[in-house]
Amino acid sequence: MRATTPSQDLLRGIWKENPVLIQMLGLCPALAVTNTVKNALAMSAATFFVLTCSSVLISSVKSLIPKEVRISSYILVIATFVTLADMMLQAYAPVQHKELGAFIALIVVNCMILGRQEAFSSRNTVYRSLLDAVGVGIGFTIALVMMGGFREVLGIGTFFDIPLFGPNFEPWVVMVLPAGGFLTLGFIILAMGVFEERKKARQAQAQTQGDAA
Amino acid sequence: MNDQTLFSIFFSAMVVNNFTLALVLGLCPFMGVSARVETALRMGLANICVLVLTSLSAWVLNTYILENAPYLRIISFIIVVASLVQIVEMVVKKIAPVLFRQLGIFLPLMTTNCAIFGLAIFQTNRGYDFLQGIVFAIGAGLGLTLALVLMASIRETSELSDIPAIAKGTGLTLIIAGSLSLAFMGFAGLL
């Protein structure tokens, strides 16, 4: 196991190993409920809560969980916190709860959360698991809000319910439909591919210049 | 209770509200095992089996056990799904070892396939009875298979075409999925 500093634990999940954009985990909520920024935020908040609580709990009882049944135990812990999140949203944000519908319950099967438990919380201390969960949670939020932003601005012409373009804007309705989700994520990933390619080309150039000098 | 006809439930689950392309559920296998038509087809069939079994058990749980404890739904459904996937995995390993190797990690990953868990939740929310649930599960399974096979055939064809290096892989798959989803939007309003 490679040693990392606490700040690395926190920062890694935000961009370098972003769960949605790099690792392609938790795609279903990222595509299904990001038609507006508000929905994206509510979904990220619920996921953040479940991820952080499960990481802390699992890393604190990790020595009590037998290896053979660890996945089932993780799932049970996650399901408990999802039930809590579901009830809390229903009580405090009934409108968002209705909008998100079944997707709150579907946080249980978000592979990102289970993945963090298996890959990190089951082997590290409570403090580091907390940092890791917060980092990954922020990364997830960034990805979702980014997608929600693109889709809401193009598809409805508003950002966080604030109209941006005036009355003559013809909304690009397809962006708030499921097809728009696929296309938005596809284009984001293509754009990231372009940046990556340029970075590599620059490095190769620097390399050859260095060799020449 | 829900009084939709069986045919409208079936058709809606399979085409109009296709789980993958209209509801955006079950994306992991959709991205992961859609490289070959044959594997996609088999993955679809395995999905249908698990979906029907899930629908059956969710109905039993809802009717006989969870009547007074709806807050335990999420927890009990996930246990049922996990056990079912485990059983299907063992059966497939025993009777079709080649298929078991082809599907690889995606077979146990069916536990965290939102399409399967989603089916149990939708069925409960809509109040389907036993027969409606089974029809819903078969329709949803066929819909998943349809999406997987369509995707796989497009990807097989695109392998031979000239694609810019940056677009290869996930980016292209997502754009194709977007176009397929656009096409399926044409079915909206049929029912």
Beta-bridge partner residues of A162? A159
Residue at A1 is within a domain: no
* Residue B54 distance to chain A (closest CA, Å): 15
pLDDT-derived band at A169, boundaries 50, 70, 90: confident
Least confident of A29-33, A166-170, B151-155: A166-170
* B66 at A interface, C-beta within 8 A: no
- Residue A3 confidence (pLDDT): 62
- Burial (0-12, 13-18, 19+ Cβ within 10 Å), A160: middle
Q: Report how many domains make up chain A.
A: 1
Can you tell me the distance from the alpha carbon of B175 to that of B164, in angstroms, rounded to the nearest whole number? Answer: 14
CA B65 to chain centre: 26
Report the C-alpha dihedral over residues A201, A207, A209, A211, rounded to 10 degrees.
-150
Quote the domain boundaries for residue A194.
Answer: 6-212
pLDDT in tens, B73-87: 889 998 888 888 888
Note the ipTM here: 0.85
- Contact A182/B181, CB-based, under 8 Å? yes
**So where are chain B's domains?**
6-185
Q: How many CB pairs below 8 Å do chains A and B form together?
A: 117
CA–CA dist B121, B136 (Å, integer): 12
Give domain status of residue A69, yes or no. yes
Reported as a single tens digit per residue, the pLDDT across A99-124 is: 888 888 889 888 889 888 988 888 88
Interatomic CA distance for residues B69 and A81, integer angstroms: 17
Domain for residue A75, yes or no?
Answer: yes
Closest-CA distance, A32 to chain B, in angstroms, reads 6
Question: Do B113 and A72 count as a contact with CB atoms less than 8 A apart?
Answer: no
For the record, the structure tokens of A185 come out as 């994520």
Are B106 and B43 in contact by the 8 Å Cβ rule? The answer is yes
Q: Is residue A194 one of the residues assigned to a domain?
A: yes
The Cα–Cα gap between A55 and A133 comes to 6
pTM for the whole structure: 0.88
Chain B interface, best mutation among A87, A182, A188, by max B CB count within 10 A: A182
How distant is the Cα of B96 from the closest Cα of chain A, in angstroms?
A: 25
pLDDT in tens, B131-149: 999 999 999 999 999 999 9
The answer to whether position A203 is within a domain reads: yes
Task: Using alpha carbons, select from A153, A156, A121 the residue that is nearest to residue A137.
Answer: A121
